[in-house]
Protein backbone atom coordinates (compact mmCIF):
# COMPACT_ATOMS: atom_id res chain seq x y z
CA UNK A 1 0.00 0.00 0.00
CA UNK A 2 1.34 3.43 -0.97
CA UNK A 3 0.34 6.72 0.62
CA UNK A 4 -1.16 9.31 -1.72
CA UNK A 5 -1.58 12.97 -0.76
CA UNK A 6 -5.08 14.30 -1.36
CA UNK A 7 -5.88 18.01 -1.18
CA UNK A 8 -7.92 18.97 1.89
CA UNK A 9 -10.72 20.52 -0.15
CA UNK A 10 -11.36 17.18 -1.89
CA UNK A 11 -10.86 15.14 1.27
CA UNK A 12 -13.68 16.92 3.10
CA UNK A 13 -16.07 16.35 0.19
CA UNK A 14 -15.01 12.73 -0.22
CA UNK A 15 -15.73 12.09 3.47
CA UNK A 16 -19.27 13.24 2.86
CA UNK A 17 -19.72 10.40 0.33
CA UNK A 18 -18.38 7.60 2.53
CA UNK A 19 -15.12 5.63 2.80
CA UNK A 20 -12.38 7.85 1.34
CA UNK A 21 -9.91 5.05 0.53
CA UNK A 22 -12.55 3.03 -1.28
CA UNK A 23 -13.59 6.02 -3.38
CA UNK A 24 -10.03 6.92 -4.32
CA UNK A 25 -9.23 3.35 -5.29
CA UNK A 26 -12.39 3.20 -7.40
CA UNK A 27 -11.47 6.44 -9.18
CA UNK A 28 -7.95 5.17 -9.86
CA UNK A 29 -9.28 1.86 -11.14
CA UNK A 30 -11.69 3.64 -13.50
CA UNK A 31 -8.91 5.93 -14.76
CA UNK A 32 -6.36 3.16 -15.28
CA UNK A 33 -8.97 1.00 -17.02
CA UNK A 34 -9.82 3.85 -19.42
CA UNK A 35 -6.12 4.40 -20.19
CA UNK A 36 -5.52 0.71 -20.78
CA UNK A 37 -8.54 0.40 -23.07
CA UNK A 38 -7.11 3.27 -25.11
CA UNK A 39 -3.75 1.45 -25.36
CA UNK A 40 -5.53 -1.75 -26.42
CA UNK A 41 -7.41 0.19 -29.10
CA UNK A 42 -4.21 1.72 -30.51
CA UNK A 43 -2.37 -1.62 -30.49
CA UNK A 44 -5.34 -3.32 -32.17
CA UNK A 45 -5.48 -0.69 -34.91
CA UNK A 46 -1.78 -1.10 -35.60
CA UNK A 47 -1.83 -4.90 -35.66
CA UNK A 48 -4.88 -4.88 -37.97
CA UNK A 49 -2.90 -3.00 -40.60
CA UNK A 50 -0.35 -5.84 -40.80
CA UNK A 51 -2.93 -8.59 -40.43
CA UNK A 52 -4.69 -7.18 -43.48
CA UNK A 53 -1.42 -6.97 -45.44
CA UNK A 54 -0.26 -10.53 -44.63
CA UNK A 55 -3.72 -12.08 -44.06
CA UNK A 56 -2.83 -13.67 -40.71
CA UNK A 57 -2.06 -12.79 -37.08
CA UNK A 58 1.55 -12.08 -36.04
CA UNK A 59 2.05 -15.36 -34.17
CA UNK A 60 1.16 -17.34 -37.32
CA UNK A 61 3.32 -15.14 -39.52
CA UNK A 62 6.34 -15.41 -37.19
CA UNK A 63 6.04 -19.18 -37.04
CA UNK A 64 5.51 -19.71 -40.77
CA UNK A 65 8.32 -17.39 -41.85
CA UNK A 66 10.69 -19.38 -39.63
CA UNK A 67 9.44 -22.89 -40.24
CA UNK A 68 8.21 -22.89 -43.84
CA UNK A 69 10.73 -22.39 -46.66
CA UNK A 70 8.04 -21.85 -49.34
CA UNK A 71 6.30 -19.25 -47.22
CA UNK A 72 9.61 -17.50 -46.51
CA UNK A 73 10.33 -17.32 -50.25
CA UNK A 74 6.82 -16.07 -51.07
CA UNK A 75 7.01 -13.34 -48.43
CA UNK A 76 10.51 -12.27 -49.52
CA UNK A 77 9.35 -12.10 -53.13
CA UNK A 78 6.15 -10.17 -52.44
CA UNK A 79 7.51 -7.92 -49.66
CA UNK A 80 11.31 -7.59 -49.84
CA UNK A 81 11.20 -5.33 -46.76
CA UNK A 82 9.14 -7.80 -44.72
CA UNK A 83 11.64 -7.67 -41.83
CA UNK A 84 10.80 -3.99 -41.36
CA UNK A 85 7.11 -4.87 -41.09
CA UNK A 86 7.79 -7.83 -38.82
CA UNK A 87 9.64 -5.72 -36.24
CA UNK A 88 6.89 -3.14 -35.96
CA UNK A 89 4.19 -5.80 -36.08
CA UNK A 90 5.92 -7.71 -33.27
CA UNK A 91 5.98 -4.54 -31.15
CA UNK A 92 2.25 -3.92 -31.54
CA UNK A 93 1.41 -7.59 -30.92
CA UNK A 94 3.43 -7.52 -27.70
CA UNK A 95 1.64 -4.31 -26.75
CA UNK A 96 -1.78 -5.82 -27.40
CA UNK A 97 -0.93 -8.89 -25.35
CA UNK A 98 0.52 -6.83 -22.48
CA UNK A 99 -2.37 -4.37 -22.15
CA UNK A 100 -5.01 -7.07 -22.56
CA UNK A 101 -3.35 -8.97 -19.74
CA UNK A 102 -3.23 -5.82 -17.54
CA UNK A 103 -6.91 -5.20 -18.26
CA UNK A 104 -7.85 -8.77 -17.39
CA UNK A 105 -5.92 -8.52 -14.12
CA UNK A 106 -7.82 -5.39 -13.12
CA UNK A 107 -11.20 -6.76 -14.15
CA UNK A 108 -10.59 -10.06 -12.34
CA UNK A 109 -9.64 -8.25 -9.13
CA UNK A 110 -12.74 -6.02 -9.20
CA UNK B 1 12.95 0.79 -20.16
CA UNK B 2 10.88 3.55 -21.74
CA UNK B 3 13.41 6.28 -20.90
CA UNK B 4 16.33 4.19 -22.14
CA UNK B 5 14.51 3.50 -25.43
CA UNK B 6 13.48 7.14 -25.77
CA UNK B 7 17.10 8.28 -25.39
CA UNK B 8 18.31 5.61 -27.81
CA UNK B 9 15.78 6.54 -30.52
CA UNK B 10 16.53 10.23 -30.01
CA UNK B 11 20.22 9.52 -30.72
CA UNK B 12 19.28 7.62 -33.88
CA UNK B 13 17.10 10.49 -35.11
CA UNK B 14 19.77 13.09 -34.32
CA UNK B 15 22.29 11.09 -36.38
CA UNK B 16 19.78 10.54 -39.18
CA UNK B 17 19.02 14.27 -39.38
CA UNK B 18 22.75 15.05 -39.56
CA UNK B 19 23.22 12.85 -42.61
CA UNK B 20 19.94 12.21 -44.42
CA UNK B 21 17.13 14.37 -45.79
CA UNK B 22 13.33 14.28 -45.64
CA UNK B 23 13.10 12.22 -42.46
CA UNK B 24 9.56 10.90 -42.13
CA UNK B 25 8.73 9.15 -38.85
CA UNK B 26 6.13 6.48 -39.55
CA UNK B 27 5.94 4.95 -36.09
CA UNK B 28 7.41 5.79 -32.71
CA UNK B 29 5.93 4.37 -29.52
CA UNK B 30 7.10 3.44 -26.04
CA UNK B 31 5.65 1.23 -23.34
CA UNK B 32 6.89 -0.74 -20.33
CA UNK B 33 7.37 -3.87 -22.49
CA UNK B 34 8.52 -2.65 -25.88
CA UNK B 35 9.49 0.41 -27.90
CA UNK B 36 9.45 0.91 -31.66
CA UNK B 37 10.85 3.38 -34.16
CA UNK B 38 10.19 3.30 -37.89
CA UNK B 39 11.19 5.99 -40.34
CA UNK B 40 12.03 6.67 -43.94
CA UNK B 41 14.55 9.20 -45.26
CA UNK B 42 16.10 10.26 -48.54
CA UNK B 43 19.76 10.60 -49.32
CA UNK B 44 20.81 11.65 -52.83
CA UNK B 45 18.76 9.29 -55.00
CA UNK B 46 18.57 6.60 -52.30
CA UNK B 47 15.78 5.63 -49.92
CA UNK B 48 16.68 4.87 -46.31
CA UNK B 49 14.28 2.54 -44.45
CA UNK B 50 14.75 1.98 -40.73
CA UNK B 51 12.83 -0.06 -38.16
CA UNK B 52 14.02 -0.88 -34.68
CA UNK B 53 12.38 -2.32 -31.60
CA UNK B 54 13.68 -2.61 -28.08
CA UNK B 55 12.42 -5.09 -25.52
CA UNK B 56 13.73 -5.58 -22.00
CA UNK B 57 16.80 -7.59 -22.99
CA UNK B 58 16.78 -7.49 -26.79
CA UNK B 59 17.25 -5.02 -29.62
CA UNK B 60 15.95 -5.93 -33.09
CA UNK B 61 16.74 -3.85 -36.14
CA UNK B 62 16.26 -3.58 -39.86
CA UNK B 63 18.29 -0.88 -41.64
CA UNK B 64 17.96 -0.70 -45.44
CA UNK B 65 19.41 1.35 -48.28
CA UNK B 66 17.42 1.15 -51.50
CA UNK B 67 17.87 2.56 -54.96
CA UNK B 68 14.91 2.40 -57.34
CA UNK B 69 13.26 -0.30 -55.18
CA UNK B 70 16.39 -2.47 -55.23
CA UNK B 71 18.02 -3.33 -51.91
CA UNK B 72 21.63 -2.17 -51.92
CA UNK B 73 22.24 -2.77 -48.21
CA UNK B 74 19.95 -4.61 -45.80
CA UNK B 75 21.18 -4.98 -42.24
CA UNK B 76 18.85 -7.08 -40.09
CA UNK B 77 18.87 -8.59 -36.68
CA UNK B 78 16.00 -11.00 -36.94
CA UNK B 79 15.42 -14.70 -37.36
CA UNK B 80 16.22 -15.47 -41.01
CA UNK B 81 16.38 -18.92 -42.63
CA UNK B 82 19.15 -18.24 -45.18
CA UNK B 83 21.30 -16.53 -42.53
CA UNK B 84 20.80 -19.42 -40.11
CA UNK B 85 21.59 -21.90 -42.88
CA UNK B 86 24.80 -20.01 -43.57
CA UNK B 87 25.78 -20.17 -39.89
CA UNK B 88 24.71 -23.71 -38.98
CA UNK B 89 24.62 -25.57 -42.31
CA UNK B 90 22.11 -28.43 -42.48
CA UNK B 91 21.54 -28.19 -38.70
CA UNK B 92 20.00 -24.72 -39.10
CA UNK B 93 16.49 -26.10 -38.41
CA UNK B 94 17.53 -26.62 -34.79
CA UNK B 95 18.05 -22.85 -34.51
CA UNK B 96 15.00 -21.46 -36.34
CA UNK B 97 13.92 -19.17 -33.52
CA UNK B 98 17.36 -17.64 -33.04
CA UNK B 99 17.78 -13.99 -33.97
CA UNK B 100 20.83 -13.54 -36.15
CA UNK B 101 22.53 -10.35 -37.31
CA UNK B 102 23.07 -10.45 -41.08
CA UNK B 103 23.56 -8.37 -44.20
CA UNK B 104 21.59 -8.60 -47.46
CA UNK B 105 23.32 -7.34 -50.59
CA UNK B 106 22.56 -7.15 -54.31
CA UNK B 107 18.76 -7.00 -53.90
CA UNK B 108 18.87 -9.89 -51.40
CA UNK B 109 20.70 -12.20 -53.79
CA UNK B 110 23.71 -12.26 -51.44
CA UNK B 111 23.75 -12.67 -47.69
CA UNK B 112 26.56 -12.37 -45.13
CA UNK B 113 26.67 -12.91 -41.38
CA UNK B 114 27.70 -9.90 -39.31
CA UNK B 115 28.24 -9.01 -35.70
CA UNK B 116 25.53 -6.92 -34.04
CA UNK B 117 25.31 -3.52 -35.75
CA UNK B 118 24.16 -0.10 -34.63
CA UNK B 119 22.49 2.67 -36.61
CA UNK B 120 25.86 4.46 -36.65
CA UNK B 121 27.43 1.39 -38.29
CA UNK B 122 24.69 1.50 -40.92
CA UNK B 123 25.30 5.20 -41.62
CA UNK B 124 29.03 4.48 -42.11
CA UNK B 125 28.19 1.64 -44.51
CA UNK B 126 25.86 3.91 -46.48
CA UNK B 127 28.50 6.62 -46.80
CA UNK B 128 31.16 4.07 -47.83
CA UNK B 129 28.80 2.37 -50.27
CA UNK B 130 28.05 5.57 -52.13
CA UNK B 131 31.69 6.68 -52.24
pLDDT in tens, chain B (131 residues): 788 899 999 999 999 999 999 999 999 999 889 999 999 999 999 999 999 999 988 999 999 999 988 999 999 999 999 999 999 998 998 888 889 999 999 999 999 999 999 999 999 999 998 76
pTM value surpassing 0.95? no
What value of ipTM does the predicted structure carry? 0.90
**Domain assignments of chain A as residue spans, ordered by start:** 40-110
Q: How far is CA B9 from the centre of its chain?
A: 13
Q: What is the C-alpha to C-alpha distance for residues A82 and A73, in angstroms, rounded to an integer? A: 11
Determine, for residues A72 and B49 on separate chains, whether the beta-carbon distance falls below 8 Å.
no
CA closest to B81 among chain A residues: A66
8 Å CB contact of A83 and B62:
yes
Phi, psi of A5 (to 5 degrees): -80, 130
CA A95, distance to chain mean position in Å, is: 5
Other Cβ atoms within 10 Å of B81 Cβ, number: 20
Q: Of A42, A87, A95, which has the smallest distance from its Cβ to B78's Cβ? A: A87
Domain boundaries, chain B: 2-128
Alpha-carbon distance B5 to nearest alpha carbon in chain A (angstroms):
13
> Any bridge partners for residue A34, and if so which?
none
pLDDT digits (tens, 9 = 90+) for A39-92: 999 999 999 999 999 999 999 999 999 999 999 999 999 999 999 999 999 999
B34, B74, B79 member nearest A94 (Cβ): B34
Give the residue among B22, B85, B75, B81 at the shortest CA–CA distance from B50.
B75
**Which of chain B's residues have a Cβ under 8 Å away from the Cβ of A86?**
62, 78
Q: Does B65 touch chain A (CB under 8 A)?
A: no
- Asked if A86 has any chain B CB less than 8 Å from its own CB, the reply is yes
Amino acid sequence: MTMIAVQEKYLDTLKAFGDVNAQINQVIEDYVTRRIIERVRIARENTREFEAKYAMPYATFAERVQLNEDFYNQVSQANPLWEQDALVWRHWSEELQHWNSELNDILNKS
Amino acid sequence: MEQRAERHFEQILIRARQVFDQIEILDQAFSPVSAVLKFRARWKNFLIAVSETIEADTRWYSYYLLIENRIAIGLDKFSDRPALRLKYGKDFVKHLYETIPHLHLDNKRKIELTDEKTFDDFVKMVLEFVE
